[in-house]
Amino acid sequence: MVNLTGKNVFAKVDMNSSFDEKTGYFRDIEKILQAVKTIKFAFEKGARSVIVASHQGDQGKNETLKNHVVAIKLHLPHVDIKFAGFRASSDITGMLGGNAVVILENTRSDEEEWNFTDVKETKMYRMIKQIPNLAFLKDDPASHRKELTTYHIPKMLHEEGCEVVAGPVLQEDIELAAKVTKILEETDSFAILGGKKLPDQLEILPQMLKKFPRMRAMLGGLFSVYVERAQGKNVGENEKLWKDEEKLLEAAKSMINEFNGRIMLPSDYCINNGFGCVCAPVSELANGKVIDIGPDTILKYMETISSAKNASILINGATGFYEAAPSINEPGMRGAAHVYSEAFDEKHGHIVMGFGGDSMVVFNRLGFKPHVNSSSGKAFFKRVIYGPYYGLEWLKK
């Protein structure tokens, strides 16, 4: 039973969300709504103040959380919400008070978040230790990232005897991972994977295929292009879209060799050749920038999905460059619109599961609601592969 009565709660959440600078709107606010849920949970359990910390964007990009604060205020209009404007500072104690919520700046705005030698010598740890009557609420599912505020500080505080508890979002993710594992063990399944986080996908997919022998994979997006590159295909300017590391190429080659026959790759793509979008077979990938999977591939994937009954379908990442698509009928969204529609068709009886922020953006644009979903991607898959408490064994104990 969680009791935070009178505590100043430091809540580590994950509200990393895609923000469109052109429109001034978030593409998806699922993670921000989860942070709102965390704040409400803390106050329901008796918290005096809540200090909210989250990362935003990739390392070194120094994106701000100002826009997130505006969104949170819309959903908590009667709460005193302050934007600290700093990541870590001794000024934090002066901002605490009855029912106050303090949103810190992006945790990744300082290199110490991923580059430090002693936890106790970091600015973030020293700030947290100044907070009187402290409790730490860990509510970011991404525990696989061994970053300072996400992993090392709550673990250190736990070892020091400070109260560290799992929040509602993390607890739901842990329980959901156990549920999904059981489903995958008992059903035929398909993993539809895209996106551009190559190290994550190349780590996760082989482990998933190994653990669940009834699973097959359909690749799209830059992930599929990279696998084509690993097999010796000339992908032209598309190589510029990722950092080409030899170890990743070797991992892709090894994956294809080990699971040949269980991994489906596109036979054609929609590419922009400088004059417009055209359909091209894999052999002509070098002639333009990949925008989406092509029509033959779309039909092949749809037929594969429709031929199965009562299967489980996992979706992570996008099959195309959805950010560039002005509508769901345009290249970039077209592959997802058709393939995902087949997956959601009720006549097949499939259980559709969506994971990660990009997947949720695409679902929202298409108007689909997965039967099972989590805003975390890699973190969730690791819980499925290695156990629900992966990376948090100390918290379980």
pLDDT tens figures, 281-301: 999 999 999 999 999 999 999
Q: What is the mean pLDDT of residues 361-378?
A: 84
215 lies in the same domain as 116 = no
Prediction pTM value: 0.79
221 and 140 in a single domain? The answer is no
Beta-sheet pairing, 49-53 with 25-26: unpaired
Q: Does 324 lie in the same domain as 212?
A: yes
Q: Count of domains in the chain?
A: 2
- Is residue 317 situated within a structural domain? yes
Report yes or no on 333 lying in a domain.
yes
What range does the domain containing 196 cover?
A: 176-385
pLDDT digits 0-9 by tens, 10-67: 999 999 888 888 888 888 888 899 999 999 999 999 999 999 999 998 887 889 999 9
pLDDT, residue 361, reads: 83
What count of other Cβ atoms lies within 10 Å of the Cβ of residue 376? 25
Residue 395 placed within a domain: no
Average pLDDT over the chain, rounded to an integer: 91
Nearest-angstrom CA–CA distance, 138 and 331: 40
pLDDT band at 143 (very low <50, low <70, confident <90, very high): low
Higher pLDDT, 397 or 314: 314
List phi, psi (to 5°) of 89.
-160, 150
Same domain, 116 and 185: no
pLDDT tens for 352-369 read 998 877 888 888 889 999
Judged on CB neighbours under 10 Å (0-12, 13-18, 19+), 44 is exposed
295 domain residue, yes or no = yes
Q: Domain for residue 391, yes or no?
A: no
Residue 3 lies in a domain: no
> How confident is residue 141, by pLDDT bands cut at 50, 70 and 90?
confident
Domain boundary (141, 166, 191) is at: 166
Say whether both 115 and 246 belong to one domain.
no
Per-residue confidence (pLDDT) for residue 295, from 0 to 100: 95
Angle between helices 246-258 and 221-230 (to 10 degrees): 90
Provide the pairing of β-strand 163-166 with 19-20. Answer: unpaired
**Each residue's pLDDT tens digit, 260-281:** 899 999 999 999 998 989 999 9
Q: Would you state the pLDDT for residue 186? A: 95
Does 2 fall in a domain?
A: no
* Residues belonging to the chain: 397
On the question of pLDDT at 144 being above 60, the answer is: no
Burial pattern 245-281, b for ≥16 Cβ within 10 A else e, equals eeebbebbeebbeebeeebbbbebbbbbeeeebbebe
The predicted model gives 227-254 an average pLDDT of: 85
Structure confidence by residue, pLDDT tens digits, 325-340? 888 889 999 999 999 9
Query: Looking at the structure, do residues 151 and 276 belong to the same domain, yes or no?
Result: no
| pLDDT band of 347, cuts 50, 70, 90 | very high
Q: Which among 266, 295, 265, 297 has a CA at the least distance from the CA of 278?
A: 295
Sorted by sequence, the CB contacts under 8 Å of residue 160 that are 6+ apart come out as: none
What pLDDT digit, counting tens, does each position of 72-118 carry?
999 999 899 999 999 999 999 999 988 899 999 999 999 999 999 99
CATH of the domain at 180: 3.40.50.1260
Last residue of a domain, one of 109, 139, 166: 166
DSSP state of 317: S
Residues 231 and 360 in one domain: yes
- Establish if 390 belongs to a structural domain: no
The verdict on 329 and 231 lying in the same domain is yes
- Tell me: do 39 and 154 sit in the same domain: yes
State the pLDDT confidence band at 395, using cuts at 50, 70 and 90.
confident
State whether 41 and 190 are in the same domain. Answer: no
Look at residues 147, 166, 185 and tell me which one is the last residue of a structural domain.
Answer: 166
Same domain, 42 and 105: yes
Q: How far apart are CA 115 and CA 368, in angstroms?
A: 40
pLDDT digits (tens, 9 = 90+) for 147-177: 999 999 999 999 999 999 999 999 988 898 8
Q: Are residues 63 and 204 in the same domain?
A: no
